[in-house]
Chains A and B, each alone.
Chain A
Amino acid sequence: MMSCRFTQRYQEVDVSNKLTQEEKATYEWQIWEPDFGEEGQEKLKNSAALVSRVGGLGSPVAYALAAAGIGKIVLAHGGNIKNSDLNRQILMTHDQLDKPRVECAKRRLLELNPALEVEAIPENVTEENAADLVGKVDVVFDCAPLFQERYAMNKACVEQGKPLVDAAMYSMEGRVTIIIPGETPCFACIYPEFPEGWKREFPVFGAVAAIAGNIAVCEGIKILAGFGTILAGYMLQYNARNMEFKKLKLKKNDSCPVCGDL
């Protein structure tokens, strides 16, 4: 797998916005991580992430990013909170049923981290808005339920050279992979065709979704701060039914219509 020396060129963060004493105290336990330190924390503070949908995957992703001290999160998710969201969309609360998801998510994130900048966009990612949304951030977390959204984000990330953290779930399983445009297989290399018969609603536990979400954030932090080894070009697949975790090496498609020319 790729070391983060590779990914550092995607993370030329302007760290002119230094840590305050309060922030040094807040993030003390992770600053103690020798590969991360104050330099890594400053990179996080000066970084922005797009979280596409704050559902079962995106909620734990956004929450963990906020807890870690990222500077800005762009949330993109349309629609209002339903009862059936609440088993896994951990940023949503019963008292906000029938109200916009992104507003509830923003409130919860700011309760956790008042210094966080949250741009709450009450729309899902589409082919029309993907380039603009991706252009706002340093890293993208793909947590969307529709494959149209995933292909649109993948294309925008490839075109803009932005790292994409792709998380997915089903039943007791989850997956995470990292797409580095031009270097790793892109989403369209991995899945050249829309899945036949994919159902928008499916069985899953919130805890299973949160595993994928938190693994995705571990990867995102490493990308942004530039340390460790990331899942670039590999798919991590876990099965919480028997706690089987495996990494599969993915193959780039040289004739991929999205990234084949890179």
Chain B
Amino acid sequence: MNIKISYYGQSRQLAGKGDEQLDAEDNVTANAVLKILSEKYGEAFSTLVLSDEGVLRKSILLSVNDEITDPNQTLSDNDELSLYPALSGG
């Protein structure tokens, strides 16, 4: 099935793009998708997004179809998964 990934904040910089399409297995969880993306984009991305235990860090908001959710959510075809790392000022 097809999943759209949208990157915000530092995740956009580390992925090098604002969004992309991903071909994923049926009933995949959001966290499983994040693990796939972490392998794809390397250590800096993985460190930003995943804890040492391999689950989404609590400094990042995750939404599916613009609703904040948790990484255990099962995704459906054509869902949009978005990552919002915490931002600050300066």
Binding site for B on A (CB under 8 A): 53, 55-58, 142-147, 150, 167-171, 173-175, 190-198, 200-204, 209, 235, 237, 239, 241-242, 246, 248-251
Contacts and interface: CB of A to CB of B under 8 A. Distances in A.
A246 B68 CA distance: 12
A201 B47 contact: no
B66 A248 contact: yes
Interface residues of B, number: 25
A195 B59 contact: yes
A190 B61 contact: yes
A198 B66 CA distance: 24
Of A56, A196, A248, most B-chain CB atoms within 10 Å: A196
Nearest to B44: A197
B60 interface: yes
11 contacts: A53-B89, A147-B86, A168-B87, A170-B9, A170-B88, A171-B9, A175-B87, A198-B59, A202-B90, A204-B90, A248-B63
Contacts, number: 98
B89 A57 contact: yes
A145 B13 contact: no
Given A147-B88, A198-B86, A204-B90, A171 B13 contact: yes
Contacts of B57: 193, 195-196
Contact of A173 (B9, B44, B61, B63): B9
Interface of B: 8-10, 12-13, 18, 44, 47-48, 57-61, 63, 66-68, 84-90
Contacts of A190: 61, 86
A224 B47 CA distance: 41
A194 B59 contact: yes
Contacts of A192: 58-59
A201 B67 contact: no
Contact of A150 (B47, B58, B88): B88
A195 B10 CA distance: 11
Task: List the 9 closest A-B pairs by CB distance, nearest first.
Answer: A168-B87, A195-B59, A145-B90, A193-B58, A192-B58, A57-B89, A143-B89, A195-B86, A170-B87
A203 B90 CA distance: 10
B63 to A, nearest CB: 6
Nearest to A58: B89
Nearest to A195: B59
Contacts of B87: 168-170, 173-175
A191 B8 contact: no
B47 A239 contact: no
B59 A146 contact: no
A203 B13 CA distance: 10
A56 B63 CA distance: 28
